[in-house]
């Protein structure tokens, strides 16, 4: 299939049954041999795989909002929001829905197709979930895809989020199984995998990736990707974050900067191991040159966060991103029309139902 024959609604296909030709039995040795290929060969293979499922000129754009910042009881050694570290991040309460909706409108006006809401919780309380479900319903009603990241979930909590019409749940495994205890001690990799299984069983699409540059080895990075690629179903979305330096965190003492080529190798590997997943060049773009970002797109990354903040740290502003995409002759993906016809009229909210406008949906190329 030629790239030009691919339509811009390809990610929508991932909601369907998994393709029988997707592999879920990758070994770390195989992944290491791919990773270590001569760079041009690795990129060539990743590009071949990329073109089978995606238009390489298109990039998905999502905007993040921290709806509950700081004061988190977990001890993730990389995070500005853990109450255990003195990072200067002030703890705040759950944001009022009106403010969240105003930010979602801004994200939509800026061209984002997905709005991701993050909360610094170990796991949400049921009372919190009432408010988050209302946010999901209202953001979805604007014609945006919804994603939340709230920490660990029980099956009934997943059911409530699914009932609110949630599209994606972000829950990262962050690193390899071996390196995990060096970064986080208040939960295990298996706790993470358990929530992911609940999310999957509840019919919500999975967004799961990790962080690079926390002092882990290349084998740890590869092992993290193999963990994702050997799940029963690959995550629909795989965010790869370059660690954003946070003064006051334990990772600050062990972090090593990751070069653009090393990062692009990882992107290419993710693309080859999980051909139909959207691979997001997630946190860390502020510290990357245009050329480094372009290299990641060539390696198969096809999603970015837009908007000048992530959760607590910076991101390139929309104008910069627009200029980069324009210079590369690339464009932002538009939402599949399927969403207009189906999801927006079939929401079964946490008890609320309303007429949902389907106008104002024009795609916007930054
Ligand atoms: N508390 C929830 C959780 O841990 O799943 C949601 C919020 S948490 C901030 C979401 C993800 O952000 C983490 O799993 C981690 O992968 C990423 N993250 C946090 N701090 C980061 C940093 N300094 N640099 C890069 N990624 C980071
Ligand atoms: C993901 O993988 N990266 C996002 C999102 N999922 C929630 C978060 C990045 C956070 C970067 C550090 C900060 O802004 O605090
Ligand atoms: Fe809390 Fe999530 Fe940060 Fe860990 S990554 S400290 S769980 S907000």
- Residues of the chain with pLDDT below 70 are 1-20, 336-366
Q: Is 296 a catalytic residue?
A: no
Q: Is 221 a catalytic residue?
A: no
Catalytic residue, chosen from 114, 116, 208, 296, is: 116
**CA 204 to centroid of ligand 2, rounded, Å:** 20
Atom of ligand 3 nearest to the CA of 174: 5
Q: Is 350 a catalytic residue?
A: no
Residues with CB under 6 A from ligand 3: 72, 74, 76, 79, 81-82, 120, 122, 151
Q: Taking phi first (over 0 means left), then psi (-120 to 50 degrees means alpha), and beta for anything else, what does residue 159 get?
A: alpha
* Total-model pTM: 0.90
Q: In whole angstroms, what separates CA 205 from the centre of its chain?
A: 11
Phi and psi angles of residue 150, each rounded to the nearest 5 degrees, phi first: -130, 5
| pLDDT of 17 | 52
| pLDDT of 38 | 98
Who's near 19: CB < 8 A, 6+ residues apart? Answer: 276
Domains and CATH numbers, the chain: 24-330 (3.20.20.70)
**CA 170 to centroid of ligand 1, rounded, Å:** 10
pLDDT digits (tens, 9 = 90+) for 233-250: 999 999 999 999 999 999
Q: Is 133 a catalytic residue?
A: no
| pLDDT of 364 | 32
User: Which residue from 65, 75, 120, 282 has its CB within 8 A of the most atoms of ligand 3, so it is best to mutate?
Assistant: 120
**CA 345 to centroid of ligand 2, rounded, Å:** 31
Question: Angle CA(293)–CA(192)–CA(24) in degrees, nearest 5?
Answer: 70
pLDDT digits (tens, 9 = 90+) for 152-188: 999 999 999 999 999 999 999 999 999 999 999 999 9
Can you tell me the distance from the alpha carbon of 287 to that of 123, in angstroms, rounded to the nearest whole number? Answer: 31
137 within 8 A of 99, measured Cβ to Cβ = no
């Amino acid at each position: 299939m030629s790239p030009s024959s691919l339509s811009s609604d390809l990610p929508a296909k991932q909601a369907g049954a998994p393709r029988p030709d997707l592999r879920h039995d990758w070994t770390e040795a195989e992944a290491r041999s791919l990773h270590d290929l001569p760079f041009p060969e690795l990129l060539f293979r990743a590009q071949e795989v990329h073109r089978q499922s995606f238009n390489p000129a298109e990039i998905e754009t999502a905007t993040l909002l921290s709806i509950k910042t700081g004061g988190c009881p977990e001890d993730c050694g990389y995070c500005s929001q853990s109450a255990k570290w003195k990072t200067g991040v002030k703890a705040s309460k759950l944001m009022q829905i009106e403010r969240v909706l105003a930010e979602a409108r801004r994200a939509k006006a800026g061209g984002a197709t997905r709005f991701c809401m993050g909360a610094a919780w170990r796991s949400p309380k049921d009372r919190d979930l009432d408010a988050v479900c209302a946010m999901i319903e209202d953001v979805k009603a604007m014609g945006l895809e919804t994603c939340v990241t709230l920490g660990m979930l029980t099956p009934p909590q997943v059911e409530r989020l699914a009932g609110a019409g949630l599209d994606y749940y972000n829950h990262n495994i962050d690193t390899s199984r071996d390196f995990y205890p060096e970064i986080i001690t208040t939960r295990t990799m298996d706790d993470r995998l358990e929530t992911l299984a609940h999310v999957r069983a509840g019919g919500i699409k999975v967004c799961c990736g990790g962080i690079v540059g926390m002092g882990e080895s290349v084998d740890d990075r590869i092992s993290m990707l193999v963990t994702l690629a050997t799940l029963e179903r690959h995550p629909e979305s795989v965010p790869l974050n370059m660690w954003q330096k946070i003064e006051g965190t334990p990772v600050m003492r062990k972090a090593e900067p990751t070069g653009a080529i090393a990062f692009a190798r990882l992107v290419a590997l993710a693309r080859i191991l999980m051909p139909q997943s959207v691979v997001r060049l997630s946190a860390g773009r502020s510290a990357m040159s245009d050329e480094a970002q372009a290299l990641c797109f060539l390696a198969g990354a096809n999603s970015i966060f837009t908007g000048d903040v992530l959760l607590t740290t910076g991101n390139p502003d929309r104008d910069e991103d627009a200029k980069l995409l324009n210079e590369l002759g690339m464009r932002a993906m538009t939402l599949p029309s399927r969403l207009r016809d189906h999801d927006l009229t079939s929401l079964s909210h946490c008890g609320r139902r309303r007429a949902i406008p389907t106008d104002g949906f024009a795609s916007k190329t930054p």
